[in-house]
Amino acid sequence: MKGKEITIYDLAHQLQVSSATVSRALKDDPLISLKTRKRIFEHAEKMGYRTNYFARNLRSQKTHTIGCIVHELQSNFINSVLAGIEKVTAEASYDLLIAHSAESYKKEISNARNLFQKRVDGVIASLSIDTVNLDHFSSFSEKHIPVVFFDRVEKSDKYAAVIIDNYKCGYEATAHLIEQGCKKIVIVTSSLSRNVYAERLRGYKDALFDFGLPYDENLVIINDLSEQAGISAANQILAMKPMPDGAFIANDFVAAVSMRVLKENHVAIPDDIAIVGFNNDVIGKIVEPALTTIHYAGREMGEVAATTIIGHLSGESTIQKINTIIINSAMIIRQSSLKRKRDRPATI
C-alpha cells in the first residue's frame, strides 16, 4: 500500500476523460454534467485520491489560510474566541495558523512576519499588552491582505475591529459595587495603552462621578495581571487606610488570587470588601465566595471576526466599510459582590 499518490491524471486516464474535467468535477463545477461529476467523485473516493493542496495553491496563488495572533493561550476567553474562529473558517474550508505573542510586542512582530511569509490570506489578531504601534501589520495592508483585530484593538481605518463595550462594562461593574454600598472602590487593571483597560477605567470614573463619589488615582492599581500581580494587588489593598470596601479587578484569575490573599488576612468577602472580576472564567465558580464577573461572548466574537475576514475574501463585503463591530456582554452577579443579602438570587 506504500504505492504512489493518485493524481487527477490517473483518474482522468482511468475514466477516459481529461484532467481538466476531473479537476472541475472535483470542485463540483456545474459546468460538468451531473453524471460525469458523480462518476468522477466515486472513482476518486474509491482510489483514495487526495487533492494536492500545494499544487492547487501554487496554481491559484491563494493559501486558503487565515493567520491568527493572540496574546495568550492559557485563557478560557481566548480559547472560546479561537473556537468561534475555527468554526467559521472550517466551514469556509480555510485553514487556521495560530501564533501567540505571549504578551510580547517583539514576539508579536515576529508572529506577523511569520504569517506574512506563510502568505496567509487574512489575519485576525488581539494585541499584546506592550504593543506600541501597528507598523508590523503594514506589510499586510500594502498587499491588501485583510486584518481584523478583536478585543485588544487599536483604531485605524485600515483594519476592522471586533470588541465589547468596555466602557459600559466598567461603568456597570462600578455602579453595581456602589449600589451594594461601596464607598471606596479600588480598580486593579493593566496597561492603559490597551483600549480594553482604558475604556473600563473611563467607565469606572464616570460611574463614580454619576453617583457622587470622588475619583482617587491612588485607587487605580496597574499591573501585569500575573499571579504575582494578584498577590501584590491584595497587599496594596490591605495596606490602604481605611481599607477599600470594593474592588473591580481586570480578570477572574487575578481576582481569585487576590481573594485568597485577602482571606488569609481575615478580610471577609463581600462584607469587608466586595469584588467584581472580568471574563467569566471557570475559576470564578470555584472560588469562595463565587465571583461576580463580566461575561463576554468570546465564541461569538471569534465568529464575527472570522466571518468578517472571509466575507471580505470572497468579495462580499469590504473591511474598510465595516471598521468596528460591537459584541454583547453582561454582568453575572454572584456572592463576591453581594453585600446586601436580599431577594436577588446569585446567578450561577
Q: Which is closer to DNA, CB of 59 or CB of 144?
A: 59
Which of 3, 5, 144, 321 binds DNA (CB under 7 A)? It is 5
Residues 9-48, interacting with DNA (CB under 7 A): 9, 16-21, 23-24, 26-27, 31-36
Which of 39-47, 114-122, 201-209, 299-307 is the region at the interface with a copy of itself (rule: CB under 8 A)? 114-122
Binder to DNA among 47, 48, 52, 183 (CB under 7 A)?
52
Site for DNA in 208-227 (CB under 7 A): none
Tell me how many degrees the CA angle 291-293-295 measures, rounded to the nearest 5: 135
**CA-CA distance, 64 to 66, in Å (whole number)?**
7
| Residue 112 interacting with a copy of itself (CB under 8 A) | no
Of residues 314 through 343, those in contact with a copy of itself by CB under 8 A are none
CA dihedral 127, 130, 135, 136 (to 10 degrees): -60
Which of DNA, a copy of itself, none lies near 142, with the C-beta cut-off 5 to 8 A by kind? a copy of itself
Burial of 185 (0-12, 13-18, 19+ CB in 10 A): buried
Task: Output the nine-digit C-alpha cell for 302.
Answer: 471569534
**Least CB distance from residue 40 to DNA, whole Å?**
9
Q: Which stretch binds a copy of itself (CB under 8 A): 29-37, 122-130, 173-181, 256-264?
A: 256-264
Radius of gyration, alpha carbons of the chain: 26
Q: Which does 33 bind (CB under 5 to 8 A by kind): DNA, a copy of itself, none?
A: DNA
Q: Which does 227 bind (CB under 5 to 8 A by kind): a copy of itself, DNA, none?
A: a copy of itself
Task: Sort residue 124 into left (φ over 0), alpha (ψ -120 to 50) or beta.
Answer: beta
Question: Looking at beta carbons only, is 45 or 217 nearer to DNA?
Answer: 45
Q: How far is the CB of 24 from DNA (least distance, A)?
A: 5
Chain center to CA of 118:
22
Given a contact cutoff of 8 angstroms between Cβ atoms, the answer to whether 85 and 96 are in contact is yes
Q: Which does 79 bind (CB under 5 to 8 A by kind): DNA, a copy of itself, none?
A: a copy of itself
Supply the minimum distance, in Å, between the C-beta of residue 65 and DNA. 15
* 129-158 residues near a copy of itself, rule: CB under 8 A: 142-144
169 vs 225, which CB is nearer to a copy of itself?
A: 225
For a copy of itself, the binding residues (CB under 8 A) are: 1-2, 50-55, 57-58, 63, 73-74, 76, 79, 82, 95, 97-98, 116-119, 142-144, 227, 253, 256-257, 260, 263, 282-283, 285-288
Interface residues toward DNA, by CB under 7 A: 4-5, 7-9, 16-21, 23-24, 26-27, 31-36, 49, 51-52, 55-56, 58-61
